[in-house]
Amino acid sequence: MQVPAQFQYEKAASIEHALALLARYGPESRIVAGGHSLIPMMKLRLAQPEALIDINDLAELATIGVDGTRLRIGAMVRHADLLASAVAGEHFPIFHDAEKMIADPVVRNRGTVGGSLCQADPSEDLSAVFAAVRADAVIRGPAGERTVAVREFFVGPYQTVLEPDELLVELRVPIRSSASAYQKVERRAGDWAVAAAGAVLRVNDGAVEEVGIGLTALGARNFHAREAEEFLAGGPATDERFAEAARIAAEQCNPFTDQRGPVDYKRHLAATLTERALRTARGRWFGRRREES
């Protein structure tokens, strides 16, 4: 039987209380919400925090809504709630595409958006999704609030810019007219991705006016394909351009061989899934334009 090492347990009553507890217990404390990543690591003694700070009662972090030109998603929003959110799906179908393929209903009912991003697992779907939509992460700490682009939030595998005494409280996504899609290959339903790609696209007069490409489980720096985005920007939204952008994305990512497959196979998936995501996003873009006309 696997049992975690001893730890202190505290239940935060507010954001300010959570920050005070983080300051009290120091760098060896950990925030727990869904717990689906942290608790198994604790049972294996891969993580041995001195204190767990439970933030499940912080309802102010569990809301989804629109504030002017921004979609706001609280860090405590459960995967199931994001999947069910009509407003999130209306503006960014990529969220629904990804959430349908994350784990299983048990995990989706408990796991949180903020927990997924803070884990910074290279195979985490939402990290690539939020990178593709160019979201901002709102962080609260002793010095107040700061905002960091999600593309700068990750500093390496399982590493973020969060300081030990800081808390991720919200994700903010600028709303603009766009279409999006997410494509994933997994060994079995609900498994971690072998590879996945997400795309956000805006087209004007046949040209790519805006594009975001996120990559999961492919070793892409900060979960996005910058060179492929730069290639597409301003050019025609054609199959040929999408295929070349997909090739660039595959070339620039850095997958490694593991139990899910060899490098060459993952590069092939990177190209295939990027092209599919771009084509699906384009189809949704023109479908929306037809509905609006």
Average pLDDT, the chain: 94
- Can you tell me the distance from the alpha carbon of 239 to that of 102, in angstroms, rounded to the nearest whole number? 29
| Fold topology of 8-54 | 3.30.43
| CATH of span 59-173 | 3.30.465.10
User: In the chain, what are the domain boundaries?
Assistant: 8-54, 59-173, 180-292
Average pLDDT over residues 211-228: 98
Per residue in 104-141, pLDDT tens?
A: 888 899 999 999 999 999 999 999 999 999 999 999 99
Per residue in 142-170, pLDDT tens?
A: 999 999 999 999 999 999 999 999 999 99
**pTM to 2 decimal places:** 0.94
Of 199, 183, 203, 196, nearest in space to 287 by CA = 203
**Cβ neighbours for 168, distance < 8 A, ≥ 6 positions apart:** 75, 114, 117, 118, 137, 138, 139, 162
| CATH of span 180-292 | 3.30.390.50
Phi first, then psi, for residue 216 (nearest 5°) are -115, 140
